[in-house]
Chains A and B, each alone.
Chain A
Amino acid sequence: MKFILMMSAPKENWDSFAKWSKEDFERNAAFMRAFSQELRDSGTFVASEGLAWPNEARVVRARSDGEPITDGVFPESKEFLGGYWIIDVEGPEQAYRIAALVSAAPGSGGKPGNIPIEVRQVLSAFSDPGL
């Protein structure tokens, strides 16, 4: 079963993140690299990406003539996706255990961030995009 593990946070958390020391950033990045490598070694890794900062985020709707209307204003409570992992595991319990490992990634000062990770099943029925 494929699951996506999503790390999201409101803008204010991104602002705090931007103030981390270089050492904090590097410690966190090293943890994330090691985590992805463990997933690869265990054969559960499918994909992982980190997203650019929320200030670049746009929401797009179509105008009646089909032209895109872009908007960059979001409610303060808006949760911005920061990054994700897609894993292929035996079942949800294994996905939750792996998500708990990411949740412990070191934050400012090296303390575990204890960040919430949203876990969702990826539908195999949609893996064929109709090509």
Chain B
Amino acid sequence: MKYILLMTGTRGGVDTYRAWSKQDIDSHMAALQSLNKELKNSGEFVATQGLAGPDEAKLIRGEKNGAPVTDGVFPESKEFLLGYWIVDVANPERAYAIAGRISTAPGPGGVPTNMPIEVRRFAEHAPRES
């Protein structure tokens, strides 16, 4: 079963993250990379990506003539996707356990961020990666 683990945050949360010390960012990234390696070794790893910051985010609708209407204004409470992991696991509990691991990645001073990770299953009928 494939699941996507979504890490999201508000603009305020991203600003706080950007103020972390280099050491804090390095240990955070090291913990996540170590998890990636474990997932690769267990055969559960499918993909991971980080997204550019919320300041670059745009919302698009199509006009009648098909031209894009671009909007870059979001409510302050808007949860922006920061990055994701796609995992192929035996059951939802395993997806929750991996999400829990991501949630324990260290933040400032090495204290776990305890950040919420949204876990969603892929629909079976969806088109797959090429």
The residues of A with any CB-CB pair to B shorter than 8 Å are 4-6, 33, 36, 40, 45-52, 56-63, 66-70, 77-81, 83, 86, 92, 96-97, 99-104, 112, 114-123, 125-127, 129-131
Contact = CB atoms under 8 A, between A and B. Distances in A.
Contacts, number: 184
30 contacts: A6-B81, A33-B127, A36-B127, A49-B4, A49-B123, A52-B122, A56-B120, A62-B101, A62-B112, A62-B114, A68-B97, A77-B77, A78-B79, A81-B4, A81-B81, A86-B49, A100-B60, A100-B62, A100-B67, A101-B62, A103-B60, A103-B68, A118-B58, A118-B60, A122-B49, A122-B52, A123-B49, A125-B50, A126-B49, A131-B37
Contacts of A126: 48-50, 83
Contacts of B116: 59-61
B61 A117 contact: yes
Contacts of A59: 116-119
Given A51-B121, A52-B123, 15 more contacts: A4-B81, A49-B123, A51-B4, A58-B96, A59-B119, A61-B114, A62-B114, A68-B100, A100-B61, A115-B61, A117-B61, A118-B57, A127-B49, A130-B33, A131-B45
